[in-house]
Structure 1
């Protein structure tokens, strides 16, 4: 998993951890209640609440692993846990002991939210709430009393509250350090990219105003000589000059594409695709939305150019599809082909062999807070999605 996706996954990790812990917890409650055969105040309602809780827990597990979750999801899931706990306590009667796993879940699930104060508060409330429920039911039923093991459970819950708060404190500090390091890395890569762009622009200007102009002037002089003295040798020299001038123009455009600076990313990618449209046996499909000039457009353009060059060199494809779309505050670039494909796990090996283009591109994108996913298999083409 790339570093950009690791950061994205990490920010949604707390709600995913609690979602995973919730299902075995519900199973444990069901087993304990069925084994103990305790009597409930409202057994049917107890079963309905627990069944609905299980169904929602399964659905929630699917939802949280489909993509990044908003910050309120953590609070919502914890609020549902607390609400279900209160409801089960209200209808459980003497079965309160079967709810013990729920009391243990709450401080643990909140610990992963990197909020030590919230973890300590909910952990302490959980221990006191468990004791209060037992006191309430012991007063209601004189035959139950207050077993000594209840005090042990309360002690365990209090210890768990302290341990969870300490865990949350460590996670919060570590997360802050990771975020700070990622931000420094993003700034360094951003400065490096801007420096590269400035250097490329200066080099492109030097080539355009120097060697290219000199070459064009020499070609004009040669044209005048060819008009006066027709000679096959001069024709060959003229063709060589023309080919060299075209190569220099292509280099200048690659170093600093004017259309990118003047019109934005979508026109620049469309202009890039025109270089491939007239190639025999190759179909180019473009679905490009106007995304304006997003931050990092130079990197996205570089990604499109690098991916298209890789397809041209290695894929042997007959069809290339390129998409460019806005998605919220992000821009998504998709480049797909129906060529030979490859094993994405071999990217690291290709770096060791000296082929650093794709890996270097991925590192730059992820360092800028984006992501780059590669879907490919040998013989089934390749699709690369860049989100920045």
Structure 2
């Protein structure tokens, strides 16, 4: 291989390797972010569907509450209840159905041919016993069920999210459902857009690689080393130019990658805004959804900066290094410094050998409680205590602030997120949360029974 070819090869090979490595890394990150976005949008859609469906079933239950509460079970009362439920509907494919506990259909407004039939052994195209699952959930107190059912407007089977409750005095299960084909269509659109974005990024990187290769190859072919002195001088100049060219290309590639990633994040924002258009509902609902999503889009840049901070705080290292008591003591001191509200911490019993998950949950609850006190209570003093006695650990946060209505806040659609987070964390480990609040202050107590 001639010297000129070696120079060209040594200049191009590292650049191509670097570009390939960057391309692989960018693609992996893009695919990961696309999956996370898919999961986030899917979760948001399903949460909206679940809340809407539960609301419909609650309205239907209220519609026949005067009949179920009467204590009557005569045919006239049962038929009146069926008539009321059959008259209720929402949208093109929204209706209510009734079965007895043995799987016999008692009322179905959109498929009257099913009324009176025993559907206990009915299975969908995947072999899932649909009616058995509905009855099982209703017997356990009611809740959500995923299954496949024929959509009235298209007469084709599709995924459906149902919610059923039991009317025990009558031996009925009553429920309704929402079809999920619109959710799947929206997610498919999002996935397609993300795929196009990833492909476009790969094409940009490929174009830069080809351009850089052509530039370096052209410079190499332009060298003339006919004489040894001239060749040596030109070789030195070429070596310097190759180094400069590599640095320039890498700098430009770095800027392009930065701009590309930024544009990709902007496309996420655009996808969120596009989701506003796909929301179904009346004009008032669409207006409210639009305003909410626009505010969310405006805060996206702040969220991106916050992600970096949160990623370093996913697991408090104080718990691993010092234990729960020391971590809470440090948290109390840190809170008192930045908020100006004194926090008195006390610990009793041996808390050094708590299960890691218990320590993490109690630490997060303490963080959430202190945050709520700082934002809403206006307290002058806070007592934070940890007690481990006879296989039970209790965390208590007591303040002398303004107090609040725990039940009203917990059921408010736009508030009570912190309290729900506390409850969900404790439920996951079998703990309980007690809240007492008045004008004199608030006491939050989290209790966990330790088991071998």
Q: In which range does the TM-score fall when normalised by the shorter chain?
A: 0.3 to 0.5
With normalisation by structure 2, the TM-score equals 0.29
Write 1 or 2 for the structure with the bigger share of strand: 2
Higher relative contact order at CA 8 Å, sep ≥6: structure 1 or structure 2? 1
Report the structure, 1 or 2, having the larger helix content. 1
